[in-house]
Amino acid sequence: MATAISSRLAETRMTQMEVASSAKVSLTTLRELQHNLNPRRRRPQTLAAISEALGWPAAYLEQVLRGETASVHADEASDPVLKALKGLEEEVASLRARLDRLEQQQADEGE
């Protein structure tokens, strides 16, 4: 669940404060879930509120917690802009990895 929340915050560019406020939960609760701190049973209402604040169906985080394959809203899954954005994110990650390898190679050659 921590990975799902962190990824979604990055995707939506929402802040923890915005999500916590929208979900009407404490910032501490959101941080605990995002970073897997103080693991304990959470109320389904809390998970539903955070899911909805992140733009997911209410049951999304509950499904993630149970290890199920959670599904996004149908319109989000087929949104061409989101698909293009995902492709760009993957390309940037690939370029970043290549750059890291080149920098490491250059550092190794300089030693």
As a whole number of angstroms, the distance between CA 34 and CA 4 comes to: 8
In this predicted structure, what is the pLDDT of residue 76? 67
0.85 cut: is pTM over it? no
Do residues 69 and 83 both lie within one domain?
no
Residues 51 and 99 placed together within one structural domain of the fold: no
50 and 84 belong to one structural domain: no
Q: What's the rounded Cα separation, in Å, for the pair 1 and 60?
A: 10
User: Could you give the C-alpha distances from 53 to 13, 36, 44, 61, 98, in angstroms and in order?
Assistant: 13, 19, 14, 11, 35
Q: In terms of domains, do 85 and 66 share one?
A: no
Alpha-carbon distance of 33 to 39, in angstroms, equals: 8
Report the candidate in 80, 86, 71 with the shortest Cα–Cα distance to residue 7.
86
Position 17 scores a pLDDT of: 96
Its domain, for residue 84, covers 79-111
- Co-location of 109 and 56 in the same domain: no
Residues 87 and 103 in one domain: yes
pLDDT of residue 72: 67
Q: Which residues of the chain have pLDDT under 70?
A: 70-77, 82
CA 96 to chain centre: 19
What whole-number distance in Å separates Cα of residue 110 and Cα of residue 10? 36
